[in-house]
């Protein structure tokens, strides 16, 4: 394709074309199609059992697609065994070779690719430096902590400079603090190496934090694919709105649909016009609003309702309030930026408000 | 002094029954065998408590009429044959067992249980019957000869029975389950993700076998080697039934001395030599695996 206005179309690293997987009689993955671009941090996000690992294993070559094809930088890799695909995997359990030292683990792939000893040693040293493990070169995996093993697994998979790096929930075995630290390191590693990362997780926060783009999988199919902001702000269905972040769902009746906007009557009594997806006039729909987008107390908000505080959850940085209003309970989060004196009491009557722009209407 | 040192050491007392059993069933009998091996042969079998090293000398030398010693390799050949046959048995078992164990380990759980049961099935049948059946298979007019003749491959074949080959077949057949089981266990324990990791890192099947699967299943192979080699050294039934009484191994040589030959001291001396061989083998294996572990820890 020709470049337009100096903009170069990003090169496709992986193309998934109508790929599905059936185990026996069980459809683990319905046919899906999407592209992953070069130098991208791409995340497959979804609840347990939705087929994330299956998809990743098909890219790596450990499973064969039941239908469809996978292209790696333009060439069809159908039927190519794993050791002939320029793709490396960071396994969830790390899968470090217990009988080899850290150095030998990292050098294993290079050796199989036929690199000379000098070149190999230099590369292993670079990798050790990259993941800050120089001091542990001679250790066996059993002599390392979980976080250190993680780094070795990353170094081992990155050493052969794969066209794509696959990571299957690499952080799930680490404790919370380490997980946070490793997230930053992963992002930095991806930037430094410029290698395309395909990252699998069921942790939506991790996905939002790390990804350039997220593919939300559910029930064996793609629910939505887009940037973290698009997925959070403009979920395309109830599943995505529910799975990514937190939200309040309210019943609504669609009065009219006008292009991107839908007018609905909500459970709270008022009528409002907001962005929508798949709303059909005259039918039922859901209205979704995020807890942090509701003001408590209502400021100069165009939409305001009366309510009663039913519960509070103090979480340090912010507090969750449960406010009963119009026959439903809204979950509202409020930053604890001011002193604790400002907090609301249970039973207190309050006015809460929000803007129609913060609302998303989703067809039932 | 540590406070615990003042307490009576109950561990020793608690283990007393175990120690007693060890002494009664292991130390004392071995002591008796050692005493017998240094005793004089009785005129009508049995032995007399007269100290002599003659049985050990007899292993290597014949005593001439005038008392001069004359080298006699007869027993040494039996010892050598025993060692060689046991080593070859162990090697063949190792080569055959690995693919079998690997095949079983990759089956579905129900089939796996069934196959493992089949591997252990021969143990439910008397050893004598099992070894005897090989006489029917290998013997003159046996299954193999008849088949080959029927197909027209051979006209007149000598008996396959009564020789080193027949004994080897019997030994491999008898002890191969003891090799399959520990290797199967170590393959079972192998994390499949490690094999996938090897393929992922550009290792083909051969590299994966050599660099990942074999090193990680070595403990099972060592255990299997010990389990096959040690009883092979002491095998009695296979050489007796399949060796035809002429080609002997240490096991039936000992039996002969205590039985037909009525030379208890010589039988005891051979038994001691056999035991020493086993112990040297085990110590050697132990040192080797300790050195391997030490190397792994040091590196
Ligand atoms: N080898 C297999 N044989 C049969 N069914 C399988 C096999 N592998 C996966 N499945 C099924 O396919 C579905 C998808 O599995 P997959 O491992 O891809 O899920 P996942 O999204 O990675 O889940 P998790 O987050 O729990 O890892 C599951 O229902 C699983 O039971
Ligand atoms: Mg998974």
Residue B236: which CATH number? Answer: 1.10.3720.10
Q: Do the domain assignments include residue B173?
A: yes
Looking at the structure, tell me whether residues A254 and A229 fall in a common domain. no
Q: What is the CATH number of the domain that holds A254?
A: 2.40.50.100
Confidence of residue B154 (pLDDT cuts 50, 70, 90): low
pLDDT at A1: 44
Answer with the residue of higher pLDDT: A120 or B129. Answer: A120
How confident is the model over B198-238, as pLDDT tens digits? 999 999 999 999 999 999 998 888 889 888 988 888 887 77
Q: Do the domain assignments include residue B63?
A: yes
- Number of domains into which chain B is organized: 1
pLDDT at A341: 53
Looking at the structure, tell me whether residues A261 and A213 fall in a common domain. no
Instruction: Answer yes or no: is pLDDT of B38 > 90.
Output: no
- Number of domains into which chain A is organized: 2
Judged by its nearest atom, the ligand closest to the C-alpha of residue A202 is: 1
Q: Looking up tokens 């001395």, which residue turns up?
A: B257
Judged by its nearest atom, the ligand closest to the C-alpha of residue A21 is: 1
Looking at the structure, tell me whether residues A191 and A297 fall in a common domain. no
Instruction: For A138-294, list the strands marked E by DSSP.
Output: 164-168, 196-201, 213-218, 221-226, 248-258, 261-266, 271-277, 284-289
Residue of B nearest to A162 (CA): B201
pLDDT at B1: 44
Q: Would you say A262 and A247 are in contact if contact means Cβ atoms under 8 Å apart?
A: no
Contact call for A91 and B196, based on CB within 8 A: yes
Q: What is the CATH number of the domain that holds A214?
A: 3.40.50.300
pLDDT at A6: 45
Looking at the structure, tell me whether residues A41 and A180 fall in a common domain. yes
Q: Is the Cα torsion angle A43, A45, A48, A52 positive or negative in sign? A: negative
pLDDT at A5: 46
Does A62 sit in the ligand 1 pocket, CB within 6 Å? no
> ipTM surpassing 0.90, yes or no?
no
How confident is the model over B186-198, as pLDDT tens digits? 999 889 899 999 9
What mean pLDDT is predicted for residues B130-148? 73
Mutate to test the pocket of ligand 1, among A50, A207, A219 (most ligand atoms within 8 A of CB): A50
Q: Do the domain assignments include residue A200?
A: yes
**Least confident piece of the model among A100-104, B66-70, B96-100, B133-137:** B66-70
A112 touches chain B (CB under 8 A): yes
Chain B contacts in chain A segment 221-250 (CB below 8 A): none
At residue A40, the 3 state secondary structure works out as coil
Answer with the residue of higher pLDDT: A351 or B299. Answer: A351
Contact call for A89 and B197, based on CB within 8 A: yes
Cα–Cα distance measured from residue B245 to residue B259, given in angstroms and rounded to the nearest whole number: 13
Q: Would you say A142 and A131 are in contact if contact means Cβ atoms under 8 Å apart?
A: no
Q: Do the domain assignments include residue B79?
A: yes
Does A49 sit in the ligand 1 pocket, CB within 6 Å? yes
Judged by its nearest atom, the ligand closest to the C-alpha of residue A26 is: 1
Q: Do the domain assignments include residue A238?
A: no
Q: Do the domain assignments include residue B118?
A: yes
Q: Is the Cα torsion angle B209, B210, B215, B218 positive or negative in sign? A: positive
Instruction: Point out the residue among A60, A95, A140 whose CB comes nearest to the CB of B191.
Output: A95
Instruction: Point out the residue among B191, B202, B216 whose CB comes nearest to the CB of A112.
Output: B202
A155 touches chain B (CB under 8 A): no
Q: Do the domain assignments include residue B183?
A: yes
Distance from Cα A273 to the centre of ligand 1, integer Å:
41
Domain boundary among A195, A210, A233: A233
Looking at the structure, tell me whether residues A216 and A83 fall in a common domain. yes
Rounded to a whole number of angstroms, the distance from the CA of A230 to the nearest CA of chain B is 34
- In this structure, the residue with its CA closest to atom 6 of ligand 1 is A23
**pLDDT < 70: residue spans in chain A:** 1-9, 338-342
Q: Do the domain assignments include residue B146?
A: yes
Q: Do the domain assignments include residue B115?
A: yes
Judged by its nearest atom, the ligand closest to the C-alpha of residue A54 is: 1
Determine the atom of ligand 1 nearest the C-alpha atom of A63: 1
Does A48 sit in the ligand 1 pocket, CB within 6 Å? yes
A113 touches chain B (CB under 8 A): yes
Q: Do the domain assignments include residue A241?
A: no
Q: Do the domain assignments include residue A197?
A: yes
At residue A23, the 3 state secondary structure works out as strand
Cα–Cα distance measured from residue A275 to residue A355, given in angstroms and rounded to the nearest whole number: 12
pLDDT at A267: 83
Which chain A residues are Cβ-neighbours of B209 within 8 angstroms?
Answer: none
HEC assignment per residue over chain B? CCHHHHCCCHHHHHCHHHHHHHHHHHHHHHHHHHHHHCCEECECECEECCCCCHHHHHHHEEECCCCCEEECCHHHHHHHHHHHHHHHHHHHHHHHHHHHHHHHHCCCHHHHHHHHHHHHHHHHCCHHHHHHHHHHHHCCCCHHHHHHHHHCCCCCCCCCCCCHHHHHHHHHHHHHHHHHHHHHHHHHHCCHHHHHHHHHCCCCHHHHHHHHHHHHHHHHHHHHHHHHHHHHHCCCHHHHHHCCCCCCCHHHHHHHHHCCCCCHHHHHHHHHHHHHHHHHHHHHHHHHHHHHHHHHHHC
Which chain B residues are Cβ-neighbours of A62 within 8 angstroms?
Answer: 196, 199
Looking at the structure, tell me whether residues A125 and A200 fall in a common domain. yes
Distance from Cα A184 to the centre of ligand 1, integer Å:
28
Distance from Cα A54 to the centre of ligand 1, integer Å:
6
Provide the domain limits for residue A146: 3-233
Which chain B residues are Cβ-neighbours of A91 within 8 angstroms?
Answer: 193, 196-197
pLDDT at A4: 45
Which chain A residues are Cβ-neighbours of B299 within 8 angstroms?
Answer: 101, 138, 140
Q: Would you say A349 and A297 are in contact if contact means Cβ atoms under 8 Å apart?
A: no
Looking at the structure, tell me whether residues A136 and A251 fall in a common domain. no
Looking at the structure, tell me whether residues A189 and A131 fall in a common domain. yes
Provide the domain limits for residue B133: 34-298
Does A88 sit in the ligand 1 pocket, CB within 6 Å? no
Q: Would you say A241 and A288 are in contact if contact means Cβ atoms under 8 Å apart?
A: yes
Please state, rounded to an integer, the average pLDDT across all residues of chain B.
81
Best B186, B189, B196, B197 residue to mutate vs chain A (most A CBs within 10 Å): B197
pLDDT at B64: 67
Domain boundary among A233, A255, A290: A233
How confident is the model over A68-101, as pLDDT tens digits? 999 999 899 988 999 999 999 999 889 999 999 9
Which chain A residues are Cβ-neighbours of B200 within 8 angstroms?
Answer: 60, 82-83, 87-89, 157
Which chain B residues are Cβ-neighbours of A156 within 8 angstroms?
Answer: 201
Domain boundary among A177, A206, A233: A233
Looking at the structure, tell me whether residues A293 and A145 fall in a common domain. no
């Amino acid at each position: 394709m020709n470049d337009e206005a100096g903009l170069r179309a990003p090169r496709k690293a992986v193309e998934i074309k109508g790929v599905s997987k059936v185990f026996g009689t069980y459809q683990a993955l319905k046919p899906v199609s999407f592209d992953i671009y070069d130098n991208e941090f791409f995340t497959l996000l979804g609840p347990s059992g939705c087929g994330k690992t299956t998809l990743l294993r098909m890219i790596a070559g450990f499973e064969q697609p039941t239908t469809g094809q996978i292209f790696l930088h333009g060439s069809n890799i159908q039927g190519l065994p794993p050791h002939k695909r320029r793709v490396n995997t960071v396994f969830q359990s790390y899968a470090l070779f217990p009988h080899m030292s850290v150095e030998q683990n990292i050098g294993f792939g290079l050796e199989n690719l036929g690199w000379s000893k000098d070149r190999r040693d230099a590369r292993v040293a670079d990798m050790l430096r990259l993941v800050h493990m120089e001091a542990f070169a001679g250790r066996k995996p059993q002599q390392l902590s979980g976080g250190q093993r993680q780094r070795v697994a990353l170094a081992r998979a990155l050493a052969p400079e794969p066209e794509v790096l696959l990571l299957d929930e690499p952080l799930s075995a680490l404790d919370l603090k380490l997980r946070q630290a490793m997230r930053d390191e992963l992002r930095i590693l991806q930037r430094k190496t410029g290698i395309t990362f395909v990252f699998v997780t069921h942790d939506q926060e991790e996905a939002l934090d790390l990804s350039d783009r997220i593919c939300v999988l559910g029930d064996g199919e793609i629910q939505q694919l887009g940037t973290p902001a698009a997925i959070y702000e403009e979920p395309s269905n109830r599943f995505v709105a529910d799975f990514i972040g937190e939200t309040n769902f309210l019943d609504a009746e669609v009065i009219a649909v006008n292009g991107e906007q839908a007018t609905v009557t909500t459970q709270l009594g008022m009528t409002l016009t907001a962005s929508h997806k798949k709303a059909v006039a005259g039918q039922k729909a859901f209205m979704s609003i995020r807890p942090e987008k509701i003001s408590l107390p209502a400021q100069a908000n165009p939409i305001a309702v009366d309510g009663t505080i039913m519960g509070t959850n103090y979480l340090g940085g912010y507090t969750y309030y449960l406010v009963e209003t119009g026959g439903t309970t809204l979950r509202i989060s409020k930053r604890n930026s001011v002193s604790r004196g400002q907090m609301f009491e249970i039973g207190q009557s309050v006015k809460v408000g929000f803007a129609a722009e913060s609302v998303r209407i989703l067809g039932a | 002094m540590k406070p615990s040192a003042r307490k009576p050491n109950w561990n020793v007392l608690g283990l007393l029954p175990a120690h007693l059993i060890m002494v009664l069933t292991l130390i004392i009998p071995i002591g008796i065998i050692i005493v017998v091996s240094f005793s004089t042969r009785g005129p009508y079998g049995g032995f007399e408590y007269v100290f002599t090293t003659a049985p050990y000398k007899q292993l290597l030398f014949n005593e001439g009429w005038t008392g001069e010693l004359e080298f006699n390799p007869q027993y040494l050949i039996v010892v050598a044959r025993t060692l060689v046959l046991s080593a070859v048995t162990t090697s063949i078992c190792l080569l055959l067992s690995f693919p079998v164990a690997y095949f079983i380990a990759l089956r579905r759980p129900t089939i796996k249980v069934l196959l493992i049961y089949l591997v252990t099935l021969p143990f439910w049948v008397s050893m004598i019957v099992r070894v005897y059946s090989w006489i029917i298979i290998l013997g003159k007019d046996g299954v193999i000869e008849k088949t080959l003749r029927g197909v027209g491959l051979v006209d007149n074949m000598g008996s396959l029975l009564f020789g080193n080959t027949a004994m080897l077949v019997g030994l491999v057949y008898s002890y191969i389950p003891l090799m399959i089981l520990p290797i199967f266990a170590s393959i079972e324990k192998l994390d499949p993700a490690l094999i996938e990791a090897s393929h992922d890192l550009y290792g083909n099947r051969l590299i994966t076998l050599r660099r990942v699967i074999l090193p990680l299943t070595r403990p099972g192979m060592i255990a299997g080697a010990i389990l096959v080699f040690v009883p092979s050294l002491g095998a009695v039934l296979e050489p007796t039934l399949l060796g035809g009484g002429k080609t002997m191994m240490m096991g039936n040589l000992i039996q002969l001395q205590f039985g037909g030959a009525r030379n208890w001291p010589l039988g005891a001396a051979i038994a001691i030599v056999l035991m020493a061989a086993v112990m040297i083998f085990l110590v050697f294996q132990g040192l080797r695996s300790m050195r391997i572990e030490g190397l792994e820890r040091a590196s």
